Amino acid sequence: MYCTKQTVIRTVVLLIALLNQILLFIGKNPLPFSEGEIYEAVSMAATVGASLWAWWKNNSFSAEAVEADHYLSALRSIYETEGEE
């Protein structure tokens, strides 16, 4: 399943807005956030999460990780060579 960041943000904002309406309906205090503040917070969290994931994903920081990358590359080339036969 593939969703854009904007889809996730809109869905979270919708869920919070629905929760807020339910709280109002049953006589409880609504959430003290505006939709704009919620959108900004969710957007920031998604951006930070995506940035950290993109930065960390397959970035080898240790000698062992670099060695593992070379090992994986060698295995892939062997697999591709066998697939050609």
Q: What is the residue extent of each domain of the chain?
A: 5-84
Instruction: For residues 17 and 42, give the distance between their C-alpha atoms in angstroms, rounded to a whole number.
Output: 13
| Residues 46-85 pLDDT 10s | 888 888 877 777 677 788 988 998 999 999 998 888 766 5
| Residues belonging to the chain | 85
Measured N-to-C along each axis, helices 5-25 and 35-56 cross at an angle, to the nearest 10 degrees, of: 140
| Residues 3-56 pLDDT 10s | 777 788 788 888 888 888 898 889 888 778 787 887 888 888 888 888 887 777
Residue 62 is given by DSSP the state S
Q: Closest by alpha carbon to 32, among 45, 19, 43?
A: 19
